[in-house]
Structure 1
Amino acid sequence: MVSLDLIHASNAQLRELGPGLVALFVGGTSGIGEYTLKAFVQNTISPRVYLIGRSAPAAERIIQECQILNKDGKVEFLPANVSELGEVDRVCKEIMKKESKINLLVQSQGNMAMSGRDESHEGIDKKMSLSYYSRMRFINNLLPLLTTASTTAPHFSRSLSILSAGWESTINLSDLELKKSFSLGKCADHTITMNSLMTTEFAKRNTGTSFVHSYPSSVNTGLSREMPFWARTLVKIATPLFKPFFVGNDETGARQLFLATSGIYPPLKTGMGFSAGMKRPKGMEVAMGTDGVVGSGGYLGNWTGAPAVRKQVLAKYMENGVSGVVWDHTMGIFERVEKVNAERIKKVEV
């Protein structure tokens, strides 16, 4: 485990990058996203932060609290229901009108719904969209801004998807979107494993940016409010019993920010102006990538700050080119949804 002292020292180095870092936090109106956002604001000079979520009251509270943490920081709320890729596209266009670069993209959107498959009008299960498809859409849409951040001073460009790195499992390659075989367990297996595989695919195509999938461990995020009554009751009873095992809010934010910025997780291309990230803690080396190659730009991070253990199933998938299969599937879903939304707009206009 990387000690909290080393974590805080690393995060404090963000100030050395100078003023005006730009960050986007999706799902940041509560829980882990909120804690990581506050850690970023606290450790930077005059940052510009975009907060995307559904709750305006929560966003207003967070903005006020961030003003206390850093009076020179600017946090702007952009409301959006990001379970829909059309909404992702809309908010990305809004951001691209405001900014030419993004230094840090952090995503933690999700829900604790326990029902069966629940498709949006786009034909995608909402839970799968939040944990996977919307995240990949944000990254894909904002690649030009991440690339600009990597090629202009201070040459710092990072993407962090917070879910469950290190918990990868077997997935159904003939039904990746689980149209025919959906269950909550399979949904978790698919979204976790595909998040991990895509770190490699994005990293090899965008060599100046680091792509990290992280595991935050047990954190009291308040997401149980979306569960059925019986499940909320069980969580309420169990929470005091498991509280000693929770990672604290401030610690969670600090550790996730470390995973998103440390030199342990550099982009594939470093040197010649490209930032490798904050200086690595003494005795820690550059991490092995998701593809099994040290420093390859796509990584799995554990809540401790150290790399997550790469499971054998993931190594086998990498060897067999499954990451490319997942890439092609994902781009295909994007094309399909674009057509669905274009037709929907056409009908409204008529």
Structure 2
Amino acid sequence: MVALDVVHASNARLRELGPDLVALFVGGTSGIGEFTLKAFVQNTISPRVYLVGRNASAADRIIKECRELNKEGKVEFLKADVTELKEVDLVCKEIQKREKKINLLFQTQGNLTLNGRNENPEGLDRKFTLNYYSRMRFVYNLLPQLRTASAEPPHFSRTLSVLGAGHEGAINLTDLDLKTTFSGARCAAHTIVMNDFMAEEFAAREHGISFLHTSPGVVNTGLTRELPIWARALMKVATPLLSLFFVSADETGQRQLFLASSGIYPPAKPAQGAPLAAGVPFPKDFSVSKGSNGKVGSGAYLVNWNGDISGNEKILSDYREKGVGKTVWEHTMGIFKQVEKINQGGIDSATS
């Protein structure tokens, strides 16, 4: 476990990366995304931050609070329902109009629901899309901006998906998108494992960018708002007991910012002669972390909320032997092509 004082000291050094860092927070209008966004704004010099979500009133509040934290920072809200990849593409096109680089892509979009499969117009389950497809689509679409960030001072470029690293379960390789075998538990297992392998697959292709999949710990994020009344009532009763195990909002934001910026989790090949390309320098008694594939500094990392390396190695090693990384990559690219055909013409006409 990385001590909290080490986390704070590292985050305070984020300013060493210089002014005008660009960050995108998807799902940042509440919970972990909001907590981390505020920590990022507070610890950087004149950052430019894009906040993607559905709740405009929450975004207005967060933007006002961020102005108090850093008067030189700029936070903009982009409203979108990213349960549909069409909306993801629209947001990405808007960002690409404004920015040539993105230093940090931080994603927490998701919901807590007991509903069954709920397909969007693209034929994908909405919860599955939040947890997985939308996240990979943001990374895929914004690779040019992430590459530019890795090529220009301070050469820092990172993506982080907060979901459930370390909580991997069995998946159905014959029904990866759970078209016919959907359940809440299967959705969790599939999206966690698929986030793991896509971090590895992206890192193997993009050597100047770090890709992290993290677990948040127990955090009171307000996700229960989409549960049935009876379930919300039970959670309200249980919250005082659960609060004993909660990671506070401030600590959550600080710890996730550490994961999003520390040099402990460098890209596979940081830019030469650029000491900050790996992220904030770490103390002498720390070392570069082991990547998800077992290799130190691989560029892809599965990390617990407290900074420890995570991932169910027994499950993941078995899947690696079966070539599941390649299977997940090909499946995801196939889904993207399928959705692009469905949405053909819609994006262009909406942005013309």
Query: With structure 1 as the length reference, what TM-score do the two structures score?
Result: 0.97
1:250 aligns to 2:250 (yes or no): yes
Secondary structure of the corresponding residue to residue 258 of structure 2: helix
Partner letter of residue 323 of structure 1? G
Once the 2 structures are TM-superposed, how far is the Cα of residue 344 of structure 1 from its aligned partner? 6.3
1:264 aligns to 2:264 (yes or no): yes
Question: Is the Cα contact below 8 Å between 2:35 and 2:252 reproduced in 1?
Answer: yes
Once the 2 structures are TM-superposed, how far is the Cα of residue 169 of structure 1 from its aligned partner? 1.3
Which residue of structure 2 lines up, in the alignment, with residue 314 of structure 1? 316
RMSD: 1.5
Which residue of structure 2 lines up, in the alignment, with residue 41 of structure 1? 41
Question: Is the Cα contact below 8 Å between 1:36 and 1:252 reproduced in 2?
Answer: yes
Judged with a 3 Å threshold, the aligned counterparts in structure 2 of structure 1 residues 135 and 309 are, in CA distance, closer, same or farther, namely closer
Once the 2 structures are TM-superposed, how far is the Cα of residue 113 of structure 1 from its aligned partner? 1.7
Q: Distance in 1 between matches of 2:185 and 2:85?
A: 23
Which residue of structure 1 lines up, in the alignment, with residue 163 of structure 2? 163
Q: Distance in 1 between matches of 2:140 and 2:80?
A: 18
Once the 2 structures are TM-superposed, how far is the Cα of residue 284 of structure 1 from its aligned partner? 2.1
Which residue of structure 2 lines up, in the alignment, with residue 24 of structure 1? 24
How high is the sequence identity, in percent, across the aligned residues? 63
Unpaired segments of 5 or more residues in structure 1? none
Query: With structure 2 as the length reference, what TM-score do the two structures score?
Result: 0.96
Partner letter of residue 300 of structure 2? G
Partner letter of residue 161 of structure 2? S
Which residue of structure 1 lines up, in the alignment, with residue 84 of structure 2? 84
Judged with a 3 Å threshold, the aligned counterparts in structure 2 of structure 1 residues 83 and 283 are, in CA distance, closer, same or farther, namely same
Q: Distance in 1 between matches of 2:182 and 2:206?
A: 32
Judged with a 3 Å threshold, the aligned counterparts in structure 2 of structure 1 residues 346 and 59 are, in CA distance, closer, same or farther, namely closer
Which residue of structure 2 lines up, in the alignment, with residue 335 of structure 1? 337
Which residue of structure 2 lines up, in the alignment, with residue 324 of structure 1? 326
1:40-79 equivalences in 2 (<5 Å)? 40-79=40-79
Question: Is the Cα contact below 8 Å between 1:292 and 1:315 reproduced in 2?
Answer: no
Question: Is the Cα contact below 8 Å between 1:162 and 1:213 reproduced in 2?
Answer: yes
Which residue of structure 2 lines up, in the alignment, with residue 151 of structure 1? 151
Unpaired segments of 5 or more residues in structure 2? none
Partner letter of residue 287 of structure 1? S
Which residue of structure 1 lines up, in the alignment, with residue 297 of structure 2? 295
Secondary structure of the corresponding residue to residue 161 of structure 1: strand
Deviations 1:263-297 (A, max 9, x none): 11100002414511111233222111111111110
Judged with a 3 Å threshold, the aligned counterparts in structure 2 of structure 1 residues 271 and 341 are, in CA distance, closer, same or farther, namely closer
Q: Distance in 2 between matches of 1:71 and 1:239?
A: 36
Partner letter of residue 162 of structure 1? V
Secondary structure of the corresponding residue to residue 342 of structure 1: coil
User: How many residues in Structure 1 have an aligned counterpart in Structure 2?
Assistant: 348
Judged with a 3 Å threshold, the aligned counterparts in structure 2 of structure 1 residues 79 and 315 are, in CA distance, closer, same or farther, namely same
Partner letter of residue 243 of structure 2? K
Which residue of structure 1 lines up, in the alignment, with residue 177 of structure 2? 177
Worse overlay, 312-321 or 27-36: 312-321
Q: Distance in 1 between matches of 2:52 and 2:42?
A: 19
Which residue of structure 2 lines up, in the alignment, with residue 202 of structure 1? 202
Q: Distance in 2 between matches of 1:271 and 1:328?
A: 29
Q: Distance in 1 between matches of 2:74 and 2:308?
A: 31
Secondary structure of the corresponding residue to residue 336 of structure 1: helix
